[in-house]
Amino acid sequence: MSSFGSMWADLEPVGRHSSTGGYRRFAWTAVDATLREWFRGEAERRGLDLVTDRAGNLWAWSGNPDADGPGLVVGSHLDSVPDGGAFDGPLGVVSAFAALDELRARGFVPDRPLGIACFADEEGARFGVACAGSRLLTGVLDPDRARALTDDDGTTMAEAMATAGHDAAVLGRDEETLRRVGTFLELHVEQGRGLVDTGDPVGVASSIWPHGRWRLDLRGRADHAGTTRLADRDDPMLALVGAISVARASAERHGSLATVGKLRVRPNGVNAIPSEVTAWLDARGPSEDGVRSVVAEVAEAAGTVPAEESWTSSTDFDAGLRDRLAAVVGEGAGMPAPVLPTGAGHDAGILSAAGVETAMLFVRNPTGVSHSPAEHAEPADCLAGVDALARAIEALA
Q: Which residues make up the interface to ligand GLV (CB under 6 A)?
A: 123, 130, 344-345
Q: Is the dihedral of CA 140, 244, 85, 24 positive or negative?
A: positive
**Cβ 316 to Mn ion, closest distance in Å?**
19
Determine the interface stretch with Mn ion among 5-13, 87-95, 164-172, 348-356 (rule: CB under 5 A).
87-95
- One of 15, 89, 192, 212 touching Mn ion (CB under 5 A): 89
CA pseudo-torsion sign 83, 196, 380, 346:
negative
Number of residues binding to Mn ion, judged by CB under 5 A: 2
Q: Among Mn ion, ligand GLV, none, what does residue 89 contact (CB within 5–8 Å per kind)? A: Mn ion
Residue 345 binds which of ligand GLV, Mn ion, none (CB < 5-8 A, kind-dependent): ligand GLV
Write down the least CB distance from residue 79 to Mn ion, Å. Answer: 9
| Nearest distance in Å: CB 361, ligand GLV | 16
Closest CB to Mn ion among residues 89, 210: 89
CB of 346 to ligand GLV, least distance (A): 7
Whole-number Å distance between alpha carbons of 215 and 41: 38
Q: Smallest distance from the beta carbon of 122 to ligand GLV, in angstroms?
A: 7
Task: Evaluate whether 243 touches 321 at the Cβ level (below 8 Å).
Answer: no
The span from the CA of 250 to the CA of 360, in Å, is 31
CB of 22 to Mn ion, least distance (A): 13
79 contributes a contact to Mn ion by CB under 5 A = no
Comparison of 70 and 124: residue with beta carbon closer to ligand GLV:
124
Distance CA(392)–CA(397), nearest Å, equals 8
Q: Closest CB to Mn ion among 110 and 343?
A: 343
Q: How far is the CB of 211 from ligand GLV (least distance, A)?
A: 7
Query: Which of the ranges 88-96, 274-282, 295-303, 312-320 carries the binding residues for Mn ion, by CB under 5 A?
Result: 88-96
Nearer to ligand GLV, 102 or 123 (CB): 123
Using alpha carbons only, give the angle 19, 11, 138 rounded to the nearest 5 degrees: 105
Write the interaction track for Mn ion spanning residues 33-72; mark x where CB under 5 A is met and - where it is not.
----------------------------------------
State the minimum distance, in angstroms, from the CB of residue 378 to ligand GLV: 21
Q: Compare residues 158 and 216 and give the one whose CB is closer to ligand GLV.
A: 216
Q: Out of 32, 88, 186, 381, name the contact with Mn ion by CB under 5 A.
A: 88
CA 60, CA 56: separation in Å to the nearest integer? 13
Q: In terms of CB distance, is 123 or 387 closer to ligand GLV? A: 123
HSE-CB of 297 using CA atoms within 13 angstroms: 21
Q: Where on the chain is the footprint of Mn ion (CB under 5 A)?
A: 88-89
